[in-house]
């Protein structure tokens, strides 16, 4: 433990004499929510006085949905001697923890569903922020859209630990809501639309959890859902402009700010094992957003029930996002 603190102090001393701290930021795939997390992390550090090229240098990497690439990125970070790693999404976090196991380099995970479930806790050099959602709330909202919704199709990547976990949670929650979950696997972004098409005639609505593969290929689900004129709820508010009828969940830029605060605590001298996992739902940024897409509703001939409208924290109309009452 003393060695880890000594390493951190050495990092600050080096930065003080002109050598910037090097932070590697790795994410599993490129999509709006994960990009917002990355931007939030950098913004938090910038506000605290960390200026790119002066006292901090970022190495940004994207695994393009491939775990083997995520491993290679983490190995590259290690070879280049980064001082700290921010790993965005479960696969990249698992890769970074594996590669940096037994080292004193802090690994901060972000946009992780259940860190305890994935073995990301208990490591002396690992901590971070979870974006755990409650599928039961999303399914109840989906059911409230129409009394005709009985069968809900979930397109997901079973290779993503977070998505596999949340799909199982959704299946359990569906029983108490009188819903039936029908799943379709999409192991890559290219397969997302094909998976959605396989559900045609078998479901009354679509639902996607915080699955990065689906988020990256969300237009495929939107196209199928709109063609079939059925509701689609995505657990990612940042995706509302890409066509889902409803989006619910966390603001991922705020999630990045939370993650950035953890990084700042480490740079100030805290050790990772002194910071327990943080869940966004338990913080000041834990208000769940519910966004309604009026453009999609008009396109498929759907009218939102007043009870759902009353819950909305934002609407999209004419391609622009508004907050009710403003």
Q: Locate 213 and state its tokens.
A: 């593969």
- What pLDDT is attached to residue 323? 83
pLDDT at 193 over 70: yes
Condensed to tens digits (0 to 9), the pLDDT of residues 56-67 reads 999 999 999 999
Q: How many CB atoms lie within 10 A of CB 287?
A: 12
Share of the chain above pLDDT 70, in %: 94
Condensed to tens digits (0 to 9), the pLDDT of residues 100-126 reads 999 999 999 999 999 999 999 999 999
Question: In terms of domains, do 79 and 197 share one?
Answer: no
The CATH code of the domain that includes 99 is: 3.40.50.2300
The answer to whether the pTM exceeds 0.85 is: yes
Question: In terms of domains, do 78 and 198 share one?
Answer: no
- What pLDDT is attached to residue 326? 58
Tell me which of 50 and 11 has the higher pLDDT.
Answer: 50
Question: In terms of domains, do 171 and 228 share one?
Answer: yes
Look up the domain containing 53 and give its range: 2-131+251-282
- What pLDDT is attached to residue 9? 42
Question: In terms of domains, do 166 and 311 share one?
Answer: yes
Q: How many CB atoms lie within 10 A of CB 320?
A: 9
Question: In terms of domains, do 308 and 163 share one?
Answer: yes
Question: In terms of domains, do 146 and 228 share one?
Answer: yes
pLDDT at 7 over 80: no
Q: Using 50, 70 and 90 to split pLDDT, how confident is the model at 325?
A: low
- What pLDDT is attached to residue 322? 87
Question: In terms of domains, do 91 and 155 share one?
Answer: no
Q: Using 50, 70 and 90 to split pLDDT, how confident is the model at 227?
A: very high
Question: In terms of domains, do 309 and 188 share one?
Answer: yes
Q: Using 50, 70 and 90 to split pLDDT, how confident is the model at 50?
A: very high
Question: In terms of domains, do 40 and 177 share one?
Answer: no
**Rounded CA gap, 137 and 248, in Å?**
9
Question: In terms of domains, do 70 and 94 share one?
Answer: yes
- The number of CA neighbours under 13 Å toward the Cβ of 119 is 8
Report strand pairing: 180-185 vs 151-156: parallel
pLDDT at 5 over 50: no
Question: In terms of domains, do 97 and 166 share one?
Answer: no
For the chain, the domain total comes to 2
* Nearest to 200, CA basis, from 232, 227, 170: 227
41 burial (CB, 10 Å; 0-12 / 13-18 / 19+) is buried
Condensed to tens digits (0 to 9), the pLDDT of residues 279-314 reads 999 999 999 999 999 999 999 999 999 999 999 999
* Nearest to 155, CA basis, from 244, 92, 91: 244
- What pLDDT is attached to residue 13? 42
Question: In terms of domains, do 141 and 209 share one?
Answer: yes
Residues whose CB falls within 8 Å of the CB of residue 237, separated by 6 or more in sequence, listed in order: 247, 248, 249, 250, 251, 252, 289, 291, 314
pLDDT at 239 over 60: yes
């Amino acid at each position: 433990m003393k060695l880890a603190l000594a390493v951190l102090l050495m990092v600050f001393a080096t930065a003080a004499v002109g050598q910037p701290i090097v932070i590697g930021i790795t994410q599993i795939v490129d999509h709006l929510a994960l990009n917002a997390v990355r931007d939030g992390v950098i913004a938090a550090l910038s506000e605290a006085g960390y200026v790119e090229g002066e006292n901090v240098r970022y190495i940004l990497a994207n695994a393009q949905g491939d775990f083997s690439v995520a491993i290679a990125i983490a190995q590259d970070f290690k070879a280049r001697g980064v001082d700290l790693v921010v790993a965005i999404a479960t696969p990249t976090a698992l890769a970074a923890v594996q590669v940096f196991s037994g080292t004193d380099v802090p690994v901060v995970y972000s946009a992780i569903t259940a860190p305890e479930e994935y073995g990301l806790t208990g490591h002396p050099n690992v901590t971070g922020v979870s974006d755990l959602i409650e599928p039961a709330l999303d399914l109840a909202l989906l059911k409230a859209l129409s009394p005709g919704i009985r069968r809900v199709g979930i397109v997901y990547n079973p290779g993503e630990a977070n998505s596999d976990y949340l799909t199982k949670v959704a299946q359990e929650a569906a029983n108490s809501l009188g819903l039936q979950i029908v799943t379709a696997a999409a192991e890559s972004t290219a397969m997302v639309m094909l998976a959605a098409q396989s559900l045609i005639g078998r479901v009354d609505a679509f639902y996607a959890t915080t699955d990065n593969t689906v988020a990256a290929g969300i237009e495929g689900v939107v196209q199928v859902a709109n063609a079939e004129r059925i509701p689609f709820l995505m657990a990612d508010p940042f995706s509302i402009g890409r066509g889902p009828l409803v989006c619910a969940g966390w603001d991922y830029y705020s999630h990045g700010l939370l993650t950035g605060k953890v990084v700042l605590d480490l740079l100030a001298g805290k050790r990772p094992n002194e910071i327990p996992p943080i869940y966004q739902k338990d913080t000041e940024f834990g208000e769940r957003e519910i966004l309604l897409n009026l453009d999609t509703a008009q396109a498929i001939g759907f009218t939102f029930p007043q009870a759902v409208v009353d819950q909305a924290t934002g609407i999209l109309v004419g391609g622009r996002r508004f907050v009710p009452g403003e």
